[in-house]
Chains A and B, each alone.
Chain A
Amino acid sequence: MSGKASRARIVYHLARADFLERVRRYGFLVTLGFAVYLGYLGTTGQIFLNLGKYQAVYNAAYVGGFMSYVTTVFLTLAGFYIVKNTVERDQKKRVGQILAACSMKKLDYCAGKFVSNFAVLCVMVAVLAIAGVGMYFLHGDNSGFHPVPLLSTFVIFALPAMAFTAAIALLFETIPGLRSGLGNVVYFFIWNNGHRNYARLADFSLIMARPRSALHRGGFVNLRSSCTETGARRG
């Protein structure tokens, strides 16, 4: 056989096959639908950030920050359970024994699975980023649309969190005691502790749900003034 495939080619094809197999499943569409719904809740102001003594100003930076925070909180939890089945699938589908008879390195296999996990989560981040843009146009201030501050927060906050989630989901699948239900419980506690620290780090408090009636009273309108660089001002 002419030519030797590089390790990068193996990782690419492994990730591609795994990614396509996942995103063509009905379950993925349901999850994506939930992500779209979450974006809708943010866009319509039904979930918002409780900033304590600060009030939100709906500029691009705030919308980006808010949506990336929602994305990160949601996908570091739900995303873990969504992607934590990639090795298990190979076992259940009996593809694993075919792979075991190949000279592929374990590291390449893990890298391919990690990339696939990450790509699946990135699709959901992209959906929520688009929702963020929609949110800005619906509720944003008059300072003009600035895509860089809006989208950069997804790159800075959400994507590293997705990489972490993708990696830890794979790690849990490779540790015998954490593969099953125990791993799911352990991760929930890790997530619960971790996202609180993340909220402090990002200078956010908890996400709050706002009753729809508050929107009808024009709650957003009162927040639109005196933009600051961070998208929030003292109340």
Chain B
Amino acid sequence: MQLEIQGVSKQYSRSTWGLRDFTLGVQPGVLGLLGPNGAGKSTLMRIIATVTRPTQGQVKWNGEDILRAPDSLRAVLGYLPQDFGVYPHLNAVEFLEYLAAVKGLDSVSARRRIDDLLTLVNLSDVRKGPLGGYSGGMKQRIGIARALLNDPGVLIADEPTAGLDPEERVRFRNLLSELAGDRVVILSTHIVSDVEAVATDIAIIASGRLIAHTALESLLRSIQVKTWEWTIPSSELPATRQRFVVTSIARRADGVQVRVIADSQPTRDAGAAVPTLEDAYLACLHAHRAGAAA
């Protein structure tokens, strides 16, 4: 199973590009797609999900061009868009029955699968209530159930944990981890902790371009001896921000604890810290922006 994105660009207007010459190979496992708002993550998701056609480039599923023959991917695709909708006057079972039929499931398989999925997303108790009365988090869980209806070989989830409470977020992360294995799962989000918890590979996208694609461990290794932490007086914070890439701050009784990325020890007080994915992500973005500005 392999998904290949080759030189894909998407131009929205003469001067607006959603993606530019984007190339990425995705193997089974969870790929965490990280990027700031407007980086092109959703555009990429929509192109892979065959909803949007790229201006240039190819997307291949197991060697087959999905722009020419989208059904080969659609048959195994589970797609959870960022802003999907529901029919508010249908209940969960009716809505999922409808989409199960559209996905090609027969009635017996659909009924069984819907029961299982509603239990999985913890919505069995409200299965007969109209979807219009669901909270944002409940609708998101319906979306997750819908994306899993056909037991997909490729799962594309665009900001899937938005609107979920912490318990449901952990539940969904665990579910993604269980689903991975021999499936291709692409998890697009700007919530770094979600990616850190489940992703095996990381792709970072900014301004429509791929700026990093590597295993989580290698990304962390790249800033292994570049993450520093120390406490400064609050008044020195603006100057520190100007001098270093500050990845986090924490207010303390004796000042502000700052965490920065720097090639060498920034001050004598700074101590080496264990890098996190957030540090690595922000370091990558900073390097990209610095390169673009130069």
Contact partner, A101, options B50, B85, B107, B130, Cβ 8 Å:
B50
| Structural contact, B107 and A20, CB atoms closer than 8 A | no
Q: What is the 8 Å Cβ interface bit string for chain B, positions 70-98, against chain A (1 contact, 0 not)?
A: 11001101010101111111100011011
Knowing A4-B106, A21-B90, the reply to whether A101 touches B98 (Cβ < 8 A) is no
Instruction: List residues of chain A with CB within 8 A of the CB of B77.
Output: 101
Contacting residue for A100 out of B51, B90, B99, CB 8 A: B51
Cβ–Cβ contact B101 & A14, under 8 A: yes
> Counting CB contacts under 8 A, is B108 at the interface?
yes
The residues of A that contact B50 with a CB separation of less than 8 Å are 100-101
Say whether A157 faces chain B, with CB atoms less than 8 Å apart: no
Contact of B81 among A16, A94, A103 (CB under 8 A): A94
Binds B, one of A5-13, A180-188, A196-204: A5-13
The answer to whether A17 touches B95, judged by C-beta atoms less than 8 angstroms apart, is yes
Mark each residue of chain A from 1 to 44: 1 if its CB lies under 8 Å from any CB of chain B, else 0: 11111000110111011001100110000000000000000000
Chain B residues lying within 8 Å of A99, measured Cβ to Cβ, are 102
Q: Tell me, yes or no, whether A53 is within 8 Å of chain B by CB.
A: no
**CB-based nearest A residue for B110:** A5
**Chain B: minimal CB distance from A86 (Å):** 11
Contact A14-B102, Cβ < 8 Å, known A1-B151, A101-B49: yes
Bound complex: CA of A10 vs CA of B83, how far in Å?
A: 24
> Is B51 in contact with A21, judged by CB distance below 8 angstroms?
no
In the complex, which residue of chain A has the Cβ closest to the Cβ of B72?
A: A103
Q: Are A97 and B87 in contact (CB under 8 A)?
A: no
The yes or no answer to B173 lying at the interface (CB within 8 A) is: no
A161 to chain B minimum Cβ distance, whole angstroms, is 27
A95 located at the interface, meaning its Cβ lies under 8 Å from any Cβ of chain B in the complex: yes
A4-B98 in contact (CB<8A): no
* CB atoms of B102 and A25 under 8 A apart: no
- How far does the Cβ of B142 sit from chain A's closest Cβ, in whole Å? 11
Q: Across the interface, which residues of A come within 8 angstroms of B88, CB to CB? A: 21, 93
Contact B102 A95 (CB under 8 A): no
Total count of chain A residues near the partner, CB < 8 A = 28
Let me know if B103 is at the binding interface, CB within 8 A: yes
A175 at the interface (CB under 8 A from B): no
Known contacts being A21-B90, A24-B89, is A1 close to B98, with CB within 8 Å?
A: no
User: In angstroms, how far is the closest chain A Cβ from the Cβ of B111?
Assistant: 12
* Residue A148 lies at the interface, judged by CB distance under 8 Å to chain B: no
Question: Between A and B, how many residue pairs show CB distances below 8 Å?
Answer: 96
Q: Is A107 an interface residue (CB 8 A)?
A: no
B74 and A1 within 8 A (CB):
no
Q: How many residues of B contact A (CB 8 A)?
A: 39
Give the residue of A4, A9, A25, A101 whose beta carbon is less than 8 angstroms from that of B79.
A101
Bound: A102/B147 CA distance, A: 11
- CB pair A21–B104 under 8 Å, yes or no, is no
CB pair B104–A5 under 8 Å, yes or no, is yes
Chain A residue with the shortest CB-CB distance to B130: A24
Q: A93-B87, A94-B83 are in contact. Are A13 and B101 (CB under 8 A)?
A: yes
**Interface of chain B residues 116 through 135 with chain A (CB within 8 A):** 130
Q: In the assembly, what is the distance between CA of A24 and CA of B91, in Å?
A: 11
Question: Which of chain A's residues have a CB closer than 8 A to the CB of B85?
Answer: 92-95
For residue B105, CB closer than 8 A to chain A, the reply is yes
Q: Given A13-B101, A100-B50, does the pair A95, B71 have CB atoms closer than 8 Å? A: no
Q: Are A3 and B74 in contact (CB under 8 A)?
A: no
When A3-B109, A93-B86, A94-B85 are in contact, do A103 and B104 touch as well, CB less than 8 Å?
yes
Is B226 an interface residue when CB atoms closer than 8 A count as contact?
no
Contacts of B141 in A (CB 8 A): none
Task: Pick from A5, A97, A102, A104 the residue with the most CB of B within 10 Å.
Answer: A102
**Residues B89 and A20 in contact, CB atoms below 8 Å apart:** yes
- Quick one: which of B74, B81, B102, B109 contacts A10, CB cutoff 8 A? B102
Instruction: Point out the residue from B51, B102, B109 that lies within 8 Å of A2, measured CB to CB.
Output: B109
- Whether B108 contacts A102 by the Cβ 8 Å rule is no
A contact residues vs B (CB 8 Å cutoff): 1-5, 9-10, 12-14, 16-17, 20-21, 24-25, 92-95, 97-104
Since A1-B109, A95-B84, A102-B102 are in contact, a sample of 5 more A-B pairs with Cβ atoms closer than 8 Å, ordered by chain A residue number, is A17-B97, A20-B90, A94-B83, A98-B81, A102-B74
13 contacts between A and B (CB under 8 A): A1-B109, A3-B108, A3-B109, A9-B101, A10-B101, A21-B89, A94-B83, A97-B51, A98-B81, A98-B84, A101-B74, A102-B104, A103-B71
